[in-house]
Amino acid sequence: MDGSIMGVITLIVVIAVGALVTYEILGSLQGNTAEENEVLQNLRSKGKTAFNLMAILIIVLVAVLIITAIMGAFRGGMAPTTPGY
């Protein structure tokens, strides 16, 4: 379970860094023609859609982790392992 949590945290950091890099690069690019501006606008639009979907992915993964923890608790899988009990 700890590895899963670290995986989600890593995914959040990677998505945040990816979004920062993408928008910094796209923000600094300027098209010289109408076609180039159209391509840049298309890239910005697709990037926005992709990062919005990645945010939903994180929400789904966190929900799966919570559901897994709850199911494990009902099955006794998360019971403390204290010696002597």
Residue with tokens 């990037």: 47
Confidence check: pLDDT of 27 > 70: yes
Provide the pLDDT for residue 78.
Answer: 54
CA distance 53 to 64: 17
pLDDT tens column, 35-83: 999 999 999 999 999 999 998 999 998 899 889 888 888 886 555 555 6
Which residue would you say has higher pLDDT here, 71 or 85?
71
Residues 11-24, mean pLDDT to the nearest whole number:
91
CA distance 56 to 44: 19
Q: Are 21 and 13 in contact (CB under 8 A)?
A: no
Nearest residue to 6 via CA among 53, 79, 61: 61
